[in-house]
Amino acid sequence: MKKNELLDRMRAGTLSRRQFAQILAGAGLAFTTMGTRGARAADDQAVYFTWSGYDDPGFFPGYVKKYGVNPALPVFATADEALTKIRGGFQVDVAHPCNLDLKRWREADVLQPIDTSRLANWKDLFPSLTKVAYANDDGKQYFVPIDWGNTSVLYRPDLVDIKEESWSLLFDERYKGKLSMSGDAADAVPIAGIVNGAKDPFNMTADELTAAKALLLKQKPLLRFYWDSNTTVEQSLQSGEIVASSAWNSSLYTLQGQGVNVKFMNPPKEGIMAYVCGLVIAKNAPHLDKAYDLIDAISSPEAGVWLINYGYGHSNKKALELAGDDLLKKRSLPKDPDAFFAKCILQKPMENVDNVLKMFEEVKASA
């Protein structure tokens, strides 16, 4: 799709800004200063390095209200890509990794402690989410939790035949050329570990990692593509180009809203994966005061309702109250995230992550 066609569709209301940003990111492009209603990011605004789709004014309303413009909004496809760019000297103020990335980001020494006394919404965040592994130590906080949700298999029940929901559908040879998988090792490798029965899919032994590689190599010829944006998955499932893919839960509600017959698995034997993502401040943040304003805006109840509408949970208790029971029910979200995580496999930092990343790149590069 050409750039002018994308713009025309967005102006006509047939393509949301969220979808627009995701398509651009999937094509390796980004309109990082583009906002809505003419809002633009000035050179002296906070730089928010985030996932495609989160670069929307609805996600940081307080910041736009205070400054009259958006922050600068470069986007990334994977947290590892973001870390590599930051380590290479790319200057940002606030970034948006997930709990499973924190160990690697902390070890890279690219973050500074966060003064939570400067955050008006800190007191309203669920305490358990602020204490995920590597979020804090020695009384210093490095991570402000924001969004939480699931990773599982999104599939077309009208196009697949399964007796019981299982991650193994992503490796089913009956659907060769009709499957997709995340191109991020943090998702793909643990999925292979789950299917293989690894004791801890985030801390696999050398033998388990070898078995995971073999399974992923066997899977590759079955895949239509590795995905790096929700939009790619959603459009391909809608058209029937693919019948199943690993995905995040927001895609379920996007497709259901379009009338597509899709289901999001909660595998009864293996379990569904869950994650917490949030905000960090770069060690050399050039706009520190505005970084705190941005974090406060994103952690607000109003931003939380915007996020819940897309199918993700939010870390602010008041956001869930403001969203109301009907919306939470529609999004299958509880008021207590602790109850949510008790029923899931919480993703966590992978051990030997450099070896895991190298292994998955070898898989993707294989013939």
pLDDT of 189-228, one tens digit each? 999 999 999 999 999 999 999 999 999 999 999 999 999 8
Q: What contacts 339, CB < 8 A, 6 or more positions away?
A: none
pLDDT value for 53: 83
Query: What single DSSP character describes residue 34?
Result: B
- The residues that bridge with 112 in the sheet, in sequence order, are 281
Distance CA 94, CA 347 (A): 22
Cα separation, 228 vs 182, in Å, equals 6
Given this model, what pLDDT does residue 42 score? 56
- Alpha helix positions (H), 119-229: 185-196, 206-219
What integer is the mean pLDDT of 151-156? 97
Contact 180, 245 (CB under 8 A): yes
Of 43-57, 182-196, 208-222, 237-251, give the lowest mean pLDDT range: 43-57
> CA 109, CA 85: separation in Å to the nearest integer?
14
Question: Which domains does the chain possess?
Answer: 3-146+276-335 (3.40.190.10), 149-273+346-365 (3.40.190.10)
Instruction: Look at residue 55 in the predicted model and tell me its pLDDT.
Output: 86
Q: Does residue 176 carry a pLDDT above 50?
A: yes
User: pLDDT (tens digit, 9 = 90+) per residue, 60-98?
Assistant: 999 999 999 999 999 998 898 999 999 999 999 999 999
pLDDT at 41 over 60: no
pLDDT reported for residue 170: 98
The reported pLDDT for the residue numbered 238 is 97
Question: Going by DSSP bridges, is the β-strand pair 345-346/273-282 parallel, antiparallel, or unpaired?
Answer: parallel
Examine the pLDDT at 39 and tell me if it is beyond 90. Answer: no
Is the model's pLDDT at 1 over the cut of 60?
no
The pLDDT value recorded for residue 30 is 40
Q: Which of 214, 217, 189 is nearest to 204 (CA)?
A: 189
> Which has the minimum average pLDDT: 36-40, 152-156, 169-173, 235-239?
36-40
Judge whether residue 10 has pLDDT over 70.
no
pLDDT score recorded for residue 265: 95
Is pTM, for the whole model, over 0.85?
A: no
